[in-house]
Amino acid sequence: MSNKRGLLFIVSGPSGVGKSTLVNRVIARVPDLVYAVSYTTRPQRPTEVEGRDYYFVSRREFERMREAGELIEWAEVYGYLYGRSRVAIERELEAGRDVILSIDVQGAAAFRKLSLPLVSIFILPPSFDVLAERLRARKTDAWPSVEHRLNIAREEVWHYRDFDYVILNDRLEEALALLEAIILAERHRRERLEEDLRQVLHTFERSDRVEGS
């Protein structure tokens, strides 16, 4: 049985591009893939579930966690604080389980500075107009907030160059298939399989006797 460390997959892109939808669906399709739930000071939306989508905390509690070093990274986005538990992520990785998370561009940059087995994936909308329509259709934010997110997206899309992979989220099922393929391909990199393959290759070592000869 392999004791290799798990991989951390970070999925990023502008607000409204479909990061959370893709991550939730790929977890349902790929075995041994767990989601790293983040803490946030943002108000809970009607469709969100505590502990599944986010851990909703006060700004004071978030700042306490940050000062205590309990967060592996944190960022302020649209006036709200977001961060992930250091202990929770490292525990999963040490146990050999792969972790995936949906994160903003700023948070992704913070993760790349850490010494973690990291694979980064950028989700790109097919066009600015499509992104705008998706944000309007969500009906979770007032127009000034949507407009603010779109203005930030104009800058964020250029960060695609900082990521290992880019997925164009035009058709959801196609984008989901690509995300799944990336995860499975990374799991099967030669350097990650060396320990497991050693047992197989040992059976091919030269011996004086071959069955049936």
Instruction: List the domain boundaries for the chain.
Output: 8-36+96-202
Distance of alpha carbon 89 from alpha carbon 170, whole angstroms: 31
Cut 0.85: pTM above it: no
Q: Which run of H or E residues covers position 39?
A: strand 38-40
CATH class as words, domain 8-36+96-202: alpha beta
Q: What is the pLDDT of residues 154-191, one digit of tens each?
A: 999 999 999 999 999 999 999 999 999 999 999 999 98
What is the model's pLDDT at position 114? 85
Residue numbers in the chain where pLDDT is lower than 70: 1-3, 139-144, 206-213
What is the model's pLDDT at position 146? 84
What is the model's pLDDT at position 123? 97
Q: Which of 165, 4, 189 lies closest to 98 in space, CA to CA?
A: 4
Distance of alpha carbon 207 from alpha carbon 148, whole angstroms: 69
Q: What is the pLDDT of residues 58-82, one digit of tens each?
A: 999 999 999 999 998 888 887 899 9
CB 62 within 8 Å of CB 41? yes
- Residues near 134 by beta carbon (within 8 Å), at least 6 away in sequence: 16, 17, 18, 125
Residues 69, 74, 75, 81, CA torsion sign? negative
CA distances in angstroms from 192 to 4, 49, 98, listed in the order given: 8, 35, 13
Distance of alpha carbon 117 from alpha carbon 160, whole angstroms: 19
What is the model's pLDDT at position 1? 40
Amino acid at 5: R
What is the model's pLDDT at position 209? 59
What is the model's pLDDT at position 7? 95
